[in-house]
Amino acid sequence: MADDGGKNNKFITSEELKKHNKPDDLWLSIQGKVYNVTDWAKDHPGGPIPLLNLAGNDVTDAFIAFHPASAWSHLDRFFTGYHLQDFHVSDVSKDYRNLSAKFTQSGLFDKKGHGVVISLLFIAALLSACFYGVLCTHSFSTHMLSGALLGFTWMQITYLGHDSGHYNIMSSPKFNKLAQIMTGNCLTGISIAWWKWTHNAHHVACNSLDYDPDLQHLPMLAVSNKLFHSLTSRFYNRKLTFDPLSKFFVSYQHFTFYPVMCVARVNLYLQTFLLLFSARKLPDRALNILGIAVFWTWFPLLVSCLPNWPERVLFVLASFCVCAIQHVQFCLNHFAASVYVGAPKGNDWFEKQTSGTIDISCSPNMDWFFGGLQFQLEHHLFPRLPRCHLRKISPLVQELCKKHNLPYISLSFVEANKWTLRTLRTAALEAREMADPASKNLIWEAVNTHG
C-alpha cells in the first residue's frame, strides 16, 4: 500500500483488495472507495452471502442495482481511508449507471402503480372461490377445480411476495414486512426468510454453477456437464456429489423435468423447515415460524373438509400441478442460458446478467400471468424497479445490449421450453456416456488432490 504523495488520500490496488475476501476480512470497493464490512456483514439486510460472494471486488454496479439512493449515506462508517488505485469504469458500466440514474431522476423506482391493489383483490377473489368450492359444494369436479384455483392463487401470491422482497410494495417497511410474512409464510407455506437467503445469492451470482443455488438441483437435475465433477456448492458449503444415483436421474431428466416440477413445492416446504430450524443466524425467525404455523393450520384443515382421502390427495396434486407452471417459468429464465464456474465479479455485472438470463416474450395482456418476470433480464439489472415499468424499459435495455454486442435473448413460452428441454437432454446424453461416476470421481479427486 502506498499513499498518494503527501495528499490525504491513500491507495490500494485491485490485487491487494482481492486478498480481503474472507468472512473475517471482508473489504469491498464502491466507486473506487474501499470499505471494510467484516463486522457488519452479519447485519446486512440482504444477508452476508452477497457480500461474501463479491468480497475483494469493486461492487459499484451491484450496489446501485440493489440499493436506493439513501443507502449511500450509510457507507461512510465503513470507509477504510483507502481508494482503489487502478479504479476503472467500463463503457458498459458507464451506460448502465447512467440509465439507472435516469430512472431514479424520473421517479420510476418510486412509482409502483396500482398493481398491488389489483393483485390483492384478484387473490382475494380466487381464494374465496377456492374455499367456496371446497366448503360449500359436493361435486368432485368442483373440488378439483378448486385445487387448481388454489395453485393459480399461489402463483399470484408468489409474485407479490417476490415484489415485496425487492422493494416496498406497502406504505412503510413495517407493513412491507407484514406483507412478506402474509404472502410467503402464511398463504404459501414458503418462508420469506428462505426466499431472501437463496434469491439474493441467485441475483448476485446469476448462473454460477457453484455459487447460484437456483442451478444446484442434484441428484434430480443438471444443466451442464460441469456438474458431473462434483463441484462444491459455495452456497450450501457442501459437495454436489454426482454419484450413480445422480447419473441415473440426470440421464432421464428431459423426461422427468415436468413431473419433478409438479412436486417441486414439497422440496420448497422442506427447505423452509430446514432453514427455520437450523442453527444459522436468521432475522425474524420467530415471526417466520409463526407464519409457517398459520399455513400448516389452515391448509390441512381445508383439505380435511373434502369427503375422502382420494379427493384430498387429488386436490393437493391439482394445486401443485397448476403451480408447477410457475416453477417451470423460473427454470426457463435460466436453465438454457450460459453458465460458468467460480465466484461472481463486480466488474462484469451487466455482462453476467445478460449472458445468464432469458426473457419470455408475450403480449401485454399476459404480463399479469408472468408477474413481470418474463422480463427477466430487465428485472436482474434493475431488481428494485416495480414490475409495471419493466415492459417500458425493455427497449432501452435492448439498445444497450446491441450497443455493446451483448446477448438479449427473448423467446416465446413454447420456444423457451424447447430450449430448456434441449439443454437438459444434452446433459442427459452426456451423463449416459460417462464412466461410472463413483470411480470417475475417485480418479478426479486423486489427480486434483495428490497431483
pLDDT score for 442: 46
Cα distances from 104 to residues 64, 108, 110, 322, in angstroms, run 11, 6, 8, 37
pLDDT given at position 112: 87
Respond yes or no on whether the N-terminal peptide bond of residue 244 is cis (omega within 30° of 0).
no
Domains in the chain (CATH in brackets) are 2-84 (3.10.120.10), 115-344 (no CATH)
How would residue 7 be classed by pLDDT, with cut points 50, 70 and 90? low
Strand residue runs (E) in 198-326: 232-233, 238-239
Buried b (16+ CB within 10 A) or exposed e, 398-411: eebbeeeebebbbb
Which of 110-119, 211-220, 304-313 shows the lowest per-residue confidence on average (mean pLDDT)?
Answer: 110-119
**Tens of pLDDT along 228-257?**
998 999 999 999 999 999 999 999 999 999
What are the residues whose beta carbons fall under 8 Å from the beta carbon of 178, sequence distance 6 or more?
Answer: 170
Distance of alpha carbon 367 from alpha carbon 356, whole angstroms: 22
* Buried/exposed 136-166: b ≥16 CB within 10 Å, e otherwise: eeeeeeebbbbbbbbbbbbbbbbbbbbbbbb
Residue 439 clears pLDDT 90, i.e. is over it: no
Span 392-422, pLDDT tens digits: 999 999 999 999 999 999 999 999 999 999 9
Pairwise CA distance, residues 148 & 7, whole Å: 68
Judged against a pLDDT cut of 90, whether residue 97 lies above it is answered with yes
Nearest to 9 by CA among 62, 79, 91, 72: 79
Q: What is this structure's pTM?
A: 0.92
> Would you place residue 438 in the very low, low, confident or very high pLDDT band (cuts 50, 70, 90)?
low
Q: CA 360 to CA 11: how far, in whole Å?
A: 45
Q: 110 is written with which cell numbers?
A: 418510486
CA–CA separation, 399 and 406 (whole Å):
10
Give the whole-angstrom CA distance, residue 231 versus residue 375.
30
